[in-house]
A and B are shown apart, each in its own frame.
Chain A
Amino acid sequence: MAADIKPRIRVPQTAKKDEIIEIKTLISHPMESGQRKDSQGKIIPRKIINKMTVAFNGKPVFEAKLEPSISANPYLSFFLKCSASGNLDFTWTDDDGSVYKATQAITVA
Chain B
Amino acid sequence: MLVSTFHLGNIYIGVDILLVREINRSMEYTPIPGSPNYIRGMLNIRGRIITLFDLKRRFAWSQEEPVRQSGQDKELVVEPKKQYNVIMKTHHEVMRISRRLADTQCTWEDPVGLVVDRLGDVRNVVDDHILPPPANLKGISAPFIRGVVRIEKELLVILNIAKIFGSDDHLATDVTTGGASRVH
Q: Do A and B come from one complex?
A: no
* A interface with B by C-beta (< 8 Å): none
